[in-house]
Structure 1
Amino acid sequence: MLLLPADLAFTWAWAFLYWDIVGPFGTSGDYSEGTEAA
């Protein structure tokens, strides 16, 4: 699968958005523990 620079940037943008929701600021795993406690 070949990605153009624009498509790649778009994909990364959604990846970071998803990570912001379910990652450090979400309820998935140990990251939320330390982040919300700080």
Structure 2
Amino acid sequence: MRTSTRLKMPSRSSLARASCDFFMTSMRFFAAKTSAIS
């Protein structure tokens, strides 16, 4: 049981990190698009 939770923790953290990176990149793209329009 302990090992399973241990294995789940890193994957969860990496998933959160990936989602954060995706959010940052999307925001950057949105900012670039708005700046290009204006």
Q: Given the two structures, how large is their TM-score scaled by the length of structure 2?
A: 0.54
Structure 2: which 5+ runs fail to align?
1-13
The structure with the larger Rg is: 2
Percent of paired sites with the same residue: 8
Q: Which has the higher contact order (CA 8 A, sep 6+)?
A: 1
Q: Given the two structures, how large is their TM-score scaled by the length of structure 1?
A: 0.54
Structure 1: which 5+ runs fail to align?
33-38
CA RMSD, Structure 1 to Structure 2 (Å): 1.7
User: Displaced runs of 4+ in structure 1, greater than 2 A?
Assistant: none
Higher helix share: 2
